[in-house]
Amino acid sequence: MDARPKVVIVGAGFAGLETVFCLRHRLGDAVELCLVSNDKNFVFRPDTIFIPFGADPKRFVVPLGRPLAGTGAQVVYDRARAIDRPHRKVLLREGEIAYDFLVVATGAGVRQEEIPGLAEHATSLWTAGGMLKLARVYERLLADAQQGHRRSILFVVPPNNRCTSPVYELALMTDTWLRTQGARERVELTLATYEDALIEAFGFRFDGLLRRRFAEGGVTLHTGFELAEVEPRHCRFASGERLPFEVLVSFPPHIVPHPFEGLPCDERGFVRVDKHSRRVAGPDPVFAVGDVSTYPAKRAYLALLQAGVAADHIAAEIEGRAPRLSFPRACETLVEAMKATTQHDTGPRPARDFPPPASGTPDHFEVGISPLWRAGTRTVGLHLPWRLGPGEPFISRLDAL
C-alpha cells in the first residue's frame, strides 16, 4: 500500500497548478498528489486582455495534460461538490477522494446580476468570450470613428470587484490603440470606479501614477463612483450621478459562486485563512489559496505566492521542519521588487518616465514606466506560459524570498 501522505488540490488555475508544481519540486516522490479539475484546459487569463486588439484566444489555452504529465500527479476531471472534513474526504459528483492534506484553489466568479442592468448592457472582461465580444465592438467603433463619427466608451469598476487594475489597464491600452489607428480624437474615454484611490488594495502608491497617465491620455476619471444601476445608454451611481455611454465595459463584482459548507467564509463566500500560512482553521490540514481566499486583491502573481507559501507549510509538516515562508513577507518582497514599476503596459507608444511621486510618497519608492519595465512585463508574459509547459513552478526562486 502507498504510505506516502496524499495531498489533494481542488482547482487547476494558477494557484492549484503552482501548488502541484511546488510540492513535486520540493518533495519529489515523497508525496502523492491528486489534482481535481472541472476543466481539461488552463486559460492564461492575464493575457486575454490583448484579445480586443487582435490577439488569437487560442494562444492562451493550454491543455492540462501537458504540464501535469511530468509531475506524476493523478488528475481527476470532475467537480468537487462538498468537503467532509471530519472524514478528510472531497466529495465529487461521481465518487470521493480521501486526503491527508487538502488545498482549495477553486478561484472566484463574478455576479453581474448584482448590479441591475449590468449583464444586459455591459461587455464583461471576465472571460475570453467577453474579450472576443469586445473585439467585435471595437471593430465597429473604430470603423465609425474613422468615418468621422464621434463615439464614447465608459469603463466602470463596480463595488465588490476585487481585481480593479485590468479595467484601468484596458482603458489605457484603448487610448494607445485608438491613437495608433488615428481615431483617438473622435472617441471619448471615461472611467468611473468605486475606488477612492486607484488600486487601493496596494495602498496609495499607484494612485498618483495612474491619475497622471489618465490625464495625459485625456481619459476622464471619476473616483468614488459606486455603480448602482445600468440603464439603456446611462449608468446611475449611488451618489445620484448619471454618466452616458455608447459602449460600456465593466469587470463585474467578485463572489465565490459555490462555497464549500464547513469552511469559514465571509459574506461573499471567500474562505478565511491564516494570513501567514493560508491554512484554514480546523483540526485537519486544509489550505485555501488564490482567488478563493479572502485576500482583498485577486491577481495571478498573488495566487502564485499564496500557493508557494501553502506548499512550503505542507512540505514542512511532512518533513518535520519549520516553515520557511510567510505570505505577507513574500508579498511585500515582490511589491518592493516592483517599486519602480506598475503592472500597466499601455501598448506600443514610446515609453517615458513620469514626474516624481506626489508629496508624501516615501523617497525610496519611485513610480514610472521605463523601457526596462516594458521588457520585463513582456518577458513575464512569455516566461509564465513557457514554464507551464514542462510543469515547472512559475516562481522557481520563491524560497529566496
In a domain, 90, yes or no: yes
Q: What is the pLDDT of residues 2-33, one digit of tens each?
A: 689 999 999 999 999 999 999 999 999 999 99
304, 181: one domain:
no
Buried-state track 114-126, b at ≥16 Cβ within 10 A, e below 16: bbebbeebbbbbb
64, 94: one domain:
yes
In a domain, 167, yes or no: yes
Decide if pLDDT at 381 tops 60. no
Residue ranges with strand state E in 239-377: 242-244, 247-250, 254-255, 279-280, 286-288
- Supply the range of the domain harboring residue 394: 6-108+256-337+378-400
pLDDT at 23: 95
Res. 356 pLDDT band, cuts 50 70 90 = very low
In a domain, 98, yes or no: yes
In a domain, 357, yes or no: no
135, 211: one domain:
yes
273, 141: one domain:
no
Domain end among 231, 252, 273: 252
Rounded CA gap, 172 and 169, in Å? Answer: 5
Res. 357 pLDDT band, cuts 50 70 90 = very low
Q: Which residue has the higher pLDDT, 121 or 384?
A: 121
In a domain, 345, yes or no: no
Amino acid (1-letter code) at residue 393: P
298, 396: one domain:
yes
102, 13: one domain:
yes
Domain end among 196, 231, 252: 252
In a domain, 372, yes or no: no
Q: How many domains does the chain have?
A: 2
**Closest by Cα among 259, 286, 265 to 104:** 286
Q: What is the pLDDT of residues 185-195, one digit of tens each?
A: 999 999 999 99
Rounded CA gap, 302 and 290, in Å? Answer: 7
Rounded CA gap, 67 and 71, in Å? Answer: 8
Q: Indicate the average pLDDT of the chain.
A: 84
Beta-carbon contacts of 235 under 8 Å, excluding residues fewer than 6 positions away, are 154, 156, 192, 227, 229, 242, 243, 245, 248
Domain end among 232, 252, 272: 252
Amino acid (1-letter code) at residue 287: F
Of 158-167, 203-212, 248-257, 361-370, the least confident: 361-370
Asked whether 355 and 212 are in contact (CB, 8 A), the reply is yes
246, 264: one domain:
no
127, 172: one domain:
yes
Q: What is the pLDDT of residues 240-274, one digit of tens each?
A: 999 999 999 999 999 999 999 989 999 999 999 99
In a domain, 301, yes or no: yes
Pairing verdict, β 151-157 and 187-193: parallel
pLDDT at 89: 97
In a domain, 160, yes or no: yes
99, 120: one domain:
no
Q: What is the pLDDT of residues 220-237, one digit of tens each?
A: 999 999 999 999 999 999
Whole-model pTM above 0.95? no
Pairing verdict, β 242-244 and 234-237: antiparallel
| Domain CATH code at residue 301 | 3.50.50.60
Arithmetic mean of pLDDT, 358-371: 33
Asked whether 33 and 25 are in contact (CB, 8 A), the reply is no
**Closest by Cα among 73, 72, 91 to 81:** 91
309, 395: one domain:
yes
pLDDT at 387: 56
396, 265: one domain:
yes
294, 314: one domain:
yes
Arithmetic mean of pLDDT, 64-85: 93
Res. 332 pLDDT band, cuts 50 70 90 = low
